[in-house]
Amino acid sequence: MKHLVTLACGIGLFLWLLPSVANSAQVPKRPNVIFIFTDDHASHAMSCYGSKINTTPNLDRIASEGMRFQNCFCTNSICGPSRAVILTGKHSHLNGFKTNDAGKDFDGAQQTFPKLLQQSGYQTAMIGKWHLGSAPTGFDYSDVLIGQGPYYNPPMLQNGKKVQRTGYTTEIITDLAVDWLDKGRDKDKPFVLMWQHKAPHREWTPGPKQFELYKNVTIPEPATLFDDYSGRGTAAHKQDMTIEKTMTRFDLKLDPPKNLNAEQLAAWHKAYDAENAEFEKAKHSGKDLVRWKYQRYIKDYLRCVAGVDEGVGRVLKYLDDNGLAENTVVIYSSDQGFYLGDHGWFDKRFMYEPSLRMPLLVRWPGVTKPGSLNTDLVQNLDFAETFLDIAGVAAPSDMQGRSIVPLLKGQTPTDWRKSIYYHYYEFFSDRGAPHDVRRHYGVRTDRYKLIHFYNEDEWELFDLQNDPDEMKSIFADTANADLVKQLQAEIVRLQKQYQVPDDRGKLKASEL
């Protein structure tokens, strides 16, 4: 039977690859996929997710013409690892890329969805931020930033060859995506384009077109800006990611980026100098200083988001104008969420909601109902299998997610997951770690979240219904003993299902 299925799939594939042989009236063209992926864009900075601080009209268009996922979560809230999970459909401990730690590159020889799509006849392109150390594999065309890449004048690797580009990086990456769609691809083949921005990653440097946005307005503060972490344990107290203490002069645009040309530097000074002079004169302290930093930070972050949104509008228009909109699945997501002053923080890493959540919008004309909302628990772990499913390619059995194509059709399987597993590793107490967020794993259901900071052996339990901001752990409350047992058993079950190694990422005594 298995051979018959394989044979049938093989014949199907053969027909896809030879449209002149197949009856084109009966065999629909395989859809194209544009995966728009940003870095650190929290869904609470998107108006289609109810943002109170900005509008994103072009991203909202994807939502209104497609499906918005309310509960999409990452498995490990940090840049490179999220990308590795998406490429492989495997948790960090299996794909090998658990942290952004220097010197450990992604193993590009392993199985990834772009390779599988390429083998099935798709044309594959990767444009923008790659951030996995090793060179991209599985792409017919790649044009990527080197490492994090700067916000202006980025050197890039075009199919491995260094090219120096001048201008604002978000616009450059958008231009490259449109150019590839227009002139770079083979128009007889279906394609998957991974169009990946650096924005709105730290240091949140806006482009010249966005400098005037939000001038002379006050952005609302999050309710938890002055959190004292009293309801949580060591990890929340000991992190190094507060707006108050961690931000640098570069973050706050008190000093300009170092690689601007004369024209860019003049525009930058025009945008910031007057406000900076006022700030230096005012000598803010205490909460006033935090408030000033928050306003500077959030406005720049939102300006970066606006640059992305504008580019999304350009690409959607390109698809409309060139007859591509109907047969192209447009997906928007970001590698994790981000703290927009929530809990007094910026950055990500924690399993708390603002950084655990990922935005996910999918427009698939004729398949996904316009303006629809999905509330099932989905993860970046599901993306690889979803891309393969869209293309009609069977997913390998060692991938660990599940295709969300049935969800996109409005048909959630009855056995869809009821919990998600999370595991963050980037903490090395012997040599320091960016932002000092302790290792932890945990489980989240539709209502509860149990987190284990396992090297400290501290637990936190949150009732997301009664405490959506996760301000007070109820782990120690004896009334929750049964709930704790159930959730601990669920963690064990998930760790077994996902083949988490027995040491669970525990640091050696010498590393603590």
Binding site for Ca ion (CB under 5 A): 39-40, 79, 335
Nearer to Ca ion, 240 or 275 (CB): 240
Nearer to Ca ion, 99 or 473 (CB): 99
Nearer to Ca ion, 100 or 488 (CB): 100
Compute the distance between CA of residue 69 and CA of residue 374 in angstroms, rounded to an integer: 5
Nearer to Ca ion, 185 or 198 (CB): 198
Closest separation in Å from C-beta 331 to Ca ion: 17
Compute the distance between CA of residue 392 and CA of residue 117 in angstroms, rounded to an integer: 9
Closest separation in Å from C-beta 44 to Ca ion: 15
Of 195, 169, 182, 179, the residue nearest 62 (C-alpha): 195
Closest separation in Å from C-beta 199 to Ca ion: 11
Closest separation in Å from C-beta 78 to Ca ion: 6
Which residue is listed with tokens 């859809």?
31
Closest separation in Å from C-beta 220 to Ca ion: 24
Nearer to Ca ion, 79 or 391 (CB): 79
Compute the distance between CA of residue 504 and CA of residue 489 in angstroms, rounded to an integer: 15
Of 263, 504, 462, 201, the residue nearest 353 (C-alpha): 462
Peptide bond into 212 cis (omega under 30): no
Look at residue 58 and give its three-state secondary structure: helix
User: Which amino acid makes up residue 494?
Assistant: L
Compute the distance between CA of residue 361 and CA of residue 251 in angstroms, rounded to an integer: 29
Closest separation in Å from C-beta 222 to Ca ion: 20
Let me know: does 461 contact 448? Beta carbons within 8 Å. yes
Nearer to Ca ion, 58 or 334 (CB): 334
Compute the distance between CA of residue 92 and CA of residue 164 in angstroms, rounded to an integer: 33
Closest separation in Å from C-beta 10 to Ca ion: 39
Compute the distance between CA of residue 363 and CA of residue 325 in angstroms, rounded to an integer: 9
Look at residue 273 and give its three-state secondary structure: helix
Helix (H) or strand (E) holding 59: helix 57-64
Nearer to Ca ion, 30 or 91 (CB): 91
Of 79, 106, 75, 69, the residue nearest 90 (C-alpha): 75
Nearer to Ca ion, 41 or 439 (CB): 41
Compute the distance between CA of residue 97 and CA of residue 86 in angstroms, rounded to an integer: 11
396-406 exposure pattern, b = at least 16 Cβ within 10 A, e = fewer: eeebbbbbbbe
Nearer to Ca ion, 40 or 426 (CB): 40
Task: Tell me the residue nearest to Ca ion as measured from the CB.
Answer: 79
Closest separation in Å from C-beta 85 to Ca ion: 12
Closest separation in Å from C-beta 350 to Ca ion: 13
Residues 6+ apart with CB under 8 A from 250: 203, 257
Closest separation in Å from C-beta 115 to Ca ion: 23
Nearer to Ca ion, 75 or 374 (CB): 75
Count each helix (H run) and each strand (E run) in the chain, helices first.
Answer: 13, 17
Closest separation in Å from C-beta 39 to Ca ion: 4
Strand partners, 172: none
- Burial (0-12, 13-18, 19+ Cβ within 10 Å), 508: exposed
Nearer to Ca ion, 108 or 434 (CB): 434
